[in-house]
Amino acid sequence: MAETAALSAPSLESLGLSTNRPLVIVDVDEVLGLFMKGFGGFLATRGYDFRVDRFALFQNIYPAGAAEHLDLEAGRALFDEFFGGHCGEIEPAPGAVEALIRLSARAEILILSNAPPQAEQLRGDWLRRHGLPHPLILSTGPKGPITAALVAQTPQRTAFIDDLLPNLDSVREHSPSTATFQHVADERLRPLAPSAPQRHPRIDDWAELAAAIEAAIHR
């Protein structure tokens, strides 16, 4: 698995990132951007309700006024439509832009997002439009292998931020030297999100999170 990840991960040099500074790897949806809010707004234009009553995605999509959620195949089609034409319309998470600007003064920033390929242009444009001109990698599946392949290229301290516990655990397994932090941007999701603070500090305020990341990578 490590060899596969190494083959699929680009070099930090090709991404324009220096190995002379710490590396901070950051997710987008529900970390840098308010995905659930944006996706919910998109669904409303298609005649669907998005009810955030569980830590899930497709199971929260309902035909307007219906008691049963939409079937998963139809939900996936809406998800793909959103990422193909509307994912650049989400709002930044409160404090996220300011925090990354602060971190970028002393660290390299890499954006690692699990999103379909058709989102690459829109997602890259979204980052630049909000003052975050950092390299973007679109990925699929657990993020541990690709993170390990990226981290292996630098002797500096590294940090990883995501909202999903499986991704955080994957990084902890494959890159144990990397400091991991959980951030859940949407206030509706926070009480629903599985967490393991003994393994990954959960910090939902970006100003506090930036300070914790700085402490971890500049020790």
What domains can be seen in the chain, in order of their start residue? Answer: 2-34+91-217 (3.40.50.1000), 35-89 (no CATH)
What does the alpha-carbon distance between residue 209 and residue 95 come to, in Å, rounded to a whole number? 10
Q: Which two tokens stand for residue 33?
A: 């951007």
Q: Which residue has the higher pLDDT, 219 or 39?
A: 39
Write down the pLDDT at residue 219. Answer: 78
Average pLDDT, integer, range 150-179: 98
Q: What is the dihedral of CA 168, 56, 204, 164, to 10 degrees?
A: 10
Write down the pLDDT at residue 8. Answer: 76
Average pLDDT, integer, range 175-198: 97
Predicted structure pTM score: 0.94
- Confidence band, pLDDT 50/70/90 cuts, at residue 6: very low
Q: Which two tokens stand for residue 58?
A: 């497709």
As a whole number, the mean pLDDT across the chain is 95
Write down the pLDDT at residue 4. Answer: 38
